[in-house]
């Protein structure tokens, strides 16, 4: 499995291109600059088959429509994010709409759903807290978690629908499911591991105390 992190958009949110040995690829959270992402896909000879969305904030979804239209990739998201992508609701953080997709290219996923891309399998884990519709995708043993967990920090919960206790519960679920060496690929900043954050992230002190 190959991974390329591409910061995009005004907030430089991390979009990840992930592909297998046969160049079947998925994109996680194309938050902007779809033309640039499409050029990278073409340059590397990838076949983009899926766009995986962790949550519906604009800096993670602004490029979804453009990238889907250029590549023909299907879009996968939770039921709470689907109305944002289809134009029925705006981004909860700003109230503004994002470029809308037609419903036929959107596939709603639930906790436990598996999205197969070539030899890769993306397993959906419901991880609400930053927003009610947050999901994490486990691909090849790595966790693509959007704005749930960062290096030495966690996602904001002061936007509509945010819930700090719920966010910590989602992180605790990942801690129980995956070993400390599990890579974490967040929506902003550098990658980390479950163990590094459990040991050093000040926001997770409660998880350390309670095991």
pLDDT tens track for 159-168: 999 999 999 9
Q: DSSP H helical segments within 34-131, as ranges?
A: 34-43, 58-61, 64-71, 82-85
Owning domain of residue 72 = 2-209
Please state the domain count of the chain: 1
> Under DSSP, is residue 81 helix (H, G, I), strand (E, B) or coil?
coil
Kindly report the CATH number assigned to the domain that includes residue 135: 3.60.15.10
Rounded to an integer, the average pLDDT of 142-154 is 98
Res 209 pLDDT > 80: no
Alpha-carbon separation of residue 119 from 1, 6, 26, 47, 178 (angstroms) = 9, 22, 11, 13, 21
Q: 106-108 and 2-8 as β-strands: parallel, antiparallel, unpaired?
A: unpaired
Cα of first residue to Cα of last residue in the chain, in angstroms, is: 32
Encoded tokens for 159: 């936007």
Does residue 172 carry a pLDDT above 80?
Answer: yes
**Residue 210 predicted with pLDDT over 80:** no
Find the range with the poorest average confidence among 20-24, 36-40, 47-51, 202-206.
202-206
Mean of the per-residue pLDDT values for the chain? 94
Per-residue confidence (pLDDT) for residue 211, from 0 to 100: 47
pLDDT at 126 over 50: yes
For 45, the enclosing helix (H) or strand (E) is: none
Q: What is the pLDDT of residue 88?
A: 83
State residue 207's pLDDT score: 77
- pLDDT band with cut points at 50, 70 and 90 for residue 208: low
């Amino acid at each position: 499995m190959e991974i390329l992190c591409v910061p995009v958009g005004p907030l430089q949110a991390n979009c990840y291109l992930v592909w297998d040995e046969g160049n079947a690829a998925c994109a996680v959270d194309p938050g902007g600059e779809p033309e640039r992402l499409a050029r990278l896909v073409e340059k590397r000879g990838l076949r983009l088959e899926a766009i995986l969305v962790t949550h519906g904030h604009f800096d993670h979804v602004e490029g979804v429509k453009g990238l889907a239209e250029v590549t023909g990739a299907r879009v996968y998201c939770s039921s709470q994010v689907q109305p944002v992508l289809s134009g029925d609701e705006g981004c909860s953080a700003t109230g503004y709409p994002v470029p809308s997709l037609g419903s036929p290219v959107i596939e709603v996923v639930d906790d436990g759903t598996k999205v197969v891309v070539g030899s890769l399998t993306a397993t959906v884990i419901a991880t609400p807290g930053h927003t009610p519709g947050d999901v994490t995708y486990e691909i090849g043993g790595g966790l693509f978690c959007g704005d749930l967990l960062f290096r030495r920090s966690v996602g904001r919960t002061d936007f509509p629908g945010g819930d700090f206790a719920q966010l910590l519960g989602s992180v605790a679920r990942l801690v129980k499911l995956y070993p400390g060496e599990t890579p974490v690929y967040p929506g902003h900043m550098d990658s980390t591991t479950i163990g590094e954050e459990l040991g050093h992230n000040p926001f997770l002190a409660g998880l350390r105390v309670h095991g």
